[in-house]
Chain A
């Protein structure tokens, strides 16, 4: 029994979906509607008391850290290996995943949530918002949501997030100029970790990510978007993400876009 409780094929939420499709492992997808704050509701908190997505439950064993969970999936199931065998390359895979998890993905999340989620709270009843905050178990997440609900993210923090994202785009373009895949000469969990957060950059940040500015990153994004398993995972989205992915494939000229729609 393998159950994945998560939101869309996007960022941390999408990592197990991409990984399980690449391994061709069957699983049950339980959609947690983040927009409706289902991840802070009693039903999901019974699975993960931290109220963070994703949660992956394999034969009664619950995992709530998406990067270690991807390594678990790679170890516990058959299918193509998604980790380089050579120790230094494997370290590089983990180091770049750590960089995504701790630095890049939170910066992009801050920018995106301030643009998309924060405006939805304007004009809502402050007491209701406070009650929603009370249900968020982790103090650091509560603080982040509080800033979103009350439009209190510091401009300096948003600017720092922009700096971090710009740095990361340049860094990964450099890396992909030197090697075929993020961690080495084969597709790995590091590619999944970066793709889960970067897949939409050619449309979301087209002024920064395009053939002239970041040719190597674009080459890699085209190759990833053409992978049947990653396409299949993106099609699992129930909201706007599946449609957005089809638009990106069309923009990138990636075959299979029509079939995917």
Chain B
């Protein structure tokens, strides 16, 4: 087992939290996102999308972080984290997908603006190594996002906060009465909202504190800082 990951990547943090919950200790390959190591030819040979994390198991590569979480739970079901009944599992999968299409891409844009992200000259040439859609996204970041895009991204995060608060109205955890992959997929992203000056509803704040108290989260809390890097493409295309 080998995990390619990076500090400052919420997607990497989610995978590390699950590994911690399950007591798994794969070999770790730490990438330096500040130095744009994820765009190096060596890493693009591992993942042509130039994104972390990637989990390798028995010589097979597993990527897409919320799907890595499910893979880990399918293969090492103890303790079970996918949810205890079909409804909980539906909600956990719904959140796993929502993070990718509606939270992470917009958080990345808001973060890029708040942290005054810049692509250093030394990293510009590497962008052409990326697949077309990925390269396009980074070029947009390099030119800076316009006011309209920033407003849309901030609104998307407010909308996400409202949905989180609505699902938390039923109990302590996002998908029902137990801690699941849904909580883990969302947490590392939502934990950055406050640091970027985005207001967070009280129910969400209290939930963040509950998740943060778990030993698996404490163990990787040094990785949770915001970093100016791009996320996935905003959903949905077109």
Contact = CB atoms under 8 A, between A and B. Distances in A.
- Do the two chains belong together in a single complex? yes
Given A67-B97, A68-B97, A91-B70, A160 B86 contact: no
A64 B145 CA distance: 31
Contact of B71 (A71, A87, A109, A161): A87
B214 interface: no
A106 B237 CA distance: 6
Contact of B237 (A68, A76, A90, A107): A107
Contacts of B233: 102
A109 B101 contact: no
Among B60, B74, B237, residue most surrounded by chain A Cβ atoms (within 10 Å): B237
A161 B57 CA distance: 33
Among A63, A75, A87, residue most surrounded by chain B Cβ atoms (within 10 Å): A87
B93 interface: yes
B155 interface: yes
Interface in A83-113: 87-88, 90-91, 94-95, 98, 101-103, 106-107, 109-110
Given A102-B237, A106-B237, A68 B90 contact: yes
Contacts of B31: none
Contact of A140 (B57, B71, B236): B236
B238 A107 contact: yes
B126 interface: no
A interface residue count range (under 10 / 10 to 19 / 20 to 34 / 35 or more)? 20 to 34
B235 A69 contact: no
A65 B236 contact: no
Given A72-B89, A90-B74, A140 B235 contact: yes
Contacts of B62: 88, 91
A110 B237 CA distance: 9
A75 B89 contact: yes
A63 B238 contact: no
Among B155, B234, B235, B238, residue most surrounded by chain A Cβ atoms (within 10 Å): B238
B86 A95 contact: no
Nearest to A75: B86
B234 A140 contact: yes
B100 interface: yes
A61 B70 contact: no
B63 interface: yes
Interface string B56-96: 01101011100110110011000000000011011001100
B152 A139 contact: yes
Contacts of A160: 132-133
Interface in B96-118: 97, 100-101
B238 A95 contact: no
Given A94-B67, A98-B67, A102-B235, A61 B93 contact: no
A206 to B, nearest CB: 24
A158 B60 CA distance: 35
Interface string B25-66: 000000000000000000000000000000001101011100
Contacts of A107: 237-238
A153 B58 CA distance: 45
A11 to B, nearest CB: 12
A251 interface: no
Contact of A157 (B64, B94, B238): B238
A245 to B, nearest CB: 25
Contact of A153 (B57, B75, B236, B238): B238
Given A88-B71, A106-B237, A61 B87 contact: yes
A71 B234 CA distance: 24
A243 interface: no
Among A61, A69, A94, A109, residue most surrounded by chain B Cβ atoms (within 10 Å): A94
B178 to A, nearest CB: 16
8 contacts: A88-B57, A91-B62, A94-B67, A98-B67, A102-B101, A102-B235, A106-B235, A139-B152
Task: Report, nearest first, the 8 A-B pairs whose CB atoms are least far apart.
Answer: A110-B238, A68-B93, A87-B74, A87-B75, A106-B237, A75-B86, A91-B71, A76-B86
